[in-house]
Amino acid sequence: MKHYRDLSLVLLLAIVSIIWMMTPSLESYPFNIIPYAFLILFLTGYPLLAVIKPLVYEMEMLKRSVLTVNLSFIMTILALLVSNYTTFKSLHLPLYLLLAYISIIITIVAFIRRSMVPDEDEKVAPSDSHKQILPEDVDEKDLAIRVENVGMAFNLSQEKVDNLKEYVIKLIKRELFFQEFWALKDISFYVKKGEKLGIIGLNGAGKSTLLKLVSGVMKPTEGTIEVNGGIVPLIELGGGFDPDYTGRENIYLRGTLLGYSKEFMEKKFDEIVEFSELEDFIDVPVKNYSSGMVSRLGFSISTIVHPQILILDEVLSVGDAAFQNKSLKRMKSFLNEDVTVILVSHNVKQIKDLCDRAIWLDKGKIVMQGDAIEVCDSFTESLHLED
Amino acid sequence: MEVRNIFGHRFFKNFFKYRYLLLELVKRDIKIKYRRSVLGIFWSFLEPLLFMIVLTIIFSTFFKHNISNYPVYLLTGRLVFEFYSKATSGALRSIKNNANTIKKLYVPKYIFPVSLTLSAMVTFLLSLIVLLLVMLATGAHFTLYILLFFVPAVLLLIFNVGIGLIVGTINVFFRDIEHLYGVFLTMVMYSSAIFFPPEVIPSHYQWILTFNPVYAFISLNRDVFYYGHFFNTSTLLFATFSAIASLVVGMVLFYKYQDKFILYI
């Protein structure tokens, strides 16, 4: 498929070049350069890519480059034959031929280099032992979230590469992708519709990263995540407001960020303000709010719609006691309904109370998953053991 | 890929869903810019006007014989350049400035540079009114070709979106661009023949003008407003080509790297 794409591109550009060369009005100074630009691009660009890329990527690229070089060579000869492009013939033919030869040499070098690099890129098939095998009684249609063999790598070495020379050297030595830090590895789980899943673990276990992956903010390095239904993430409620904007304007802004229409927000506006208890401050810029007020506003906007999937990251401690009661009530109303919930909390009791199942994460791996009470008990047990 | 399925593609669905967001962001850019200033939105009229007066006082004596109506000549170029520089330097910072949102919510990321370009477009269109007023005041010759003003405007919009996506993407990975871009903009400004006639540039440097896309847009704009004739065909071709090329390169670059943004902001 990729071959066809390249071929058609080269053909198209070659035809454009030929027509260009044959049009007398375009033979004046600035315009007669453009066909050259195309040719030079193809004759040097592709082989150069072929030199750099095979070291990191695959053989395919090289084959494509050889193909395109040959094709553009033929097309240019053709162009020379049909066009009466005198300046091109007399002046630039030697230059062009030189370029062509250089590109052929580069391609050959690339071939040799590539053959010296061992084939490591072949993907290792994920072993079946990690695969989350769905229980017999779970139908795929009932799933809200399905996460399979997900891994997330952060590159720690990236900071050190600060100039181009070093970058190229590291690229050639294949060191650039070495210092990986896997925040998550081999994570597989599923959540049924209407199910409440709790995630526990110590700080740095990868809980927040997992939530960000599920809510689509980040893309996993490997593995797949399938989500059925609209997600409302309640992660760090205070963030994401525009400080110069008033509360009123921020409500509309956040609403549209969540993908709601303006009319919808107008209908819900009073309800949001009422729930957040910010009537007196709604026309004050958010930068003058206290942090509790900001979180209250965030909570009120995010929970205005009954979502299909709700993602909660330590948000049940918003505002003062009165507001906490109110927000807990609203959360409970979601929990009783058919809403799928993923809850991250350090509070083991909360997870025991609210969730059906739980996952225990440690250093990016799943230690245990299953019934919420069982998982929570072994988690607390492990904590006491370390003491 | 079948053609009838193309509107069911994720891109179009998302774009449709987030059109309110785009509007809201454009509004925000304009609102925040003029918040707390007494004259508010009038600054988008006043600023080009004051700038024009200053430069006219300084330069009109120099180019008395080359340029007949200096204020209009200056404004036609300056407005286009302002649109370009505001849109692209805004888009340059847009990903970084909205890091908070991008880190917490799923939003199509291209919406930030695009919204900044659109808000710059709004300012541009408003300042065209100033241009028309100045033309009236200086007794410039009005022709029907003025109705073609949208051609350079739309082409420039496409061009700016493309450049905005490119510089926005690069700035995520190499912050140096942010400092370098100001210098680059000054370079573009002086090589676009905004406040001097193009003939001033020596003949062996004329290629700078012919290969400067911004100058191409400026001369298209001058064709309709200042000279009052149809576009120069080759300039129109070059402008269209650079607009489409920048958009394609920008989209490819942006789509290729957008998943990595979050690791760098």
pLDDT digits (tens, 9 = 90+) for B95-141: 988 888 888 788 888 999 999 999 999 999 988 988 999 999 888 88
Confidence of residue A56 (pLDDT cuts 50, 70, 90): very low
More confident residue, B65 or A258: A258
Q: Do B20 and A256 touch (CB under 8 A)?
A: yes
Mean pLDDT of B148-164: 93
Give residue B34's pLDDT: 80
Task: Evaluate whether A190 touches A345 at the Cβ level (below 8 Å).
Answer: no
Contacts of A25 in chain B (CB under 8 A): 234
- What domains does chain A contain, in order, with CATH numbers? 5-120 (no CATH), 190-230+307-382 (3.40.50.300)
**Residue A285 DSSP code:** B
Is B66 part of the contact surface with chain A (CB cutoff 8 Å)? no
Name the percent of chain B lying above pLDDT 90: 32
Average pLDDT over chain A reads: 72
Mean pLDDT of B20-48: 83
Give residue B154's pLDDT: 93
Residue B203: pLDDT above 60? yes
Token digits of residue B9: 């593609």
Give residue B4's pLDDT: 44
Residue A244: pLDDT above 60? yes
Contacts of A256 in chain B (CB under 8 A): 18, 20-21, 23-24
Nearest Cα of chain A lies from the Cα of B65 at a distance, in angstroms, of: 28
* B23: closest chain A residue by CA: A256
ipTM: 0.75
Mean pLDDT of A160-168: 58
Q: How far is CA A189 from CA A145, A221, A224, A294, B9, in A?
A: 8, 17, 11, 34, 28
Rounded to whole angstroms, how far apart are CA atoms A40 and A28?
Answer: 20
Give residue A304's pLDDT: 80
A20-24, A175-179, A286-290, B2-6, range with greatest mean pLDDT: A286-290
Residue A60: pLDDT above 50? yes
Residues within 8 A of A (CB atoms), B 197-236 only: 207, 210-211, 234
Q: How far is CA A327 from CA A119, A199, A298, A300, A347, in A?
A: 56, 20, 12, 9, 17
Is A269 part of the contact surface with chain B (CB cutoff 8 Å)? no
Q: Do B262 and A216 touch (CB under 8 A)?
A: no
Of A215, A242, A252, the CB nearest to B106: A215
Mean pLDDT of A6-18: 63
Rounded to whole angstroms, how far apart are CA atoms B64 and B197?
Answer: 11
Q: pTM for this one?
A: 0.72
Q: How far is CA A61 from CA A47, A57, A74, B48, B113, in A?
A: 9, 8, 20, 51, 32
Is A261 part of the contact surface with chain B (CB cutoff 8 Å)? yes
Q: Do B234 and A26 touch (CB under 8 A)?
A: yes
Give residue A122's pLDDT: 43
Q: What is the number of structural domains in chain B? A: 1
Give residue A125's pLDDT: 44
Task: Name the residue among A108, A381, A81, A256 with its Cα closest to residue B101.
Answer: A256
Give the domain extent around B68.
Answer: 3-263
A17-21, B15-19, B147-151, range with greatest mean pLDDT: B147-151
Give residue A112's pLDDT: 65
Give residue A130's pLDDT: 41
pLDDT digits over A166-192, tens only?
Answer: 666 655 555 555 566 788 888 888 888
Give residue A192's pLDDT: 85
Task: Name the residue among B225, B187, B193 with its Cα closest to residue B209.
Answer: B193
Give residue A265's pLDDT: 87
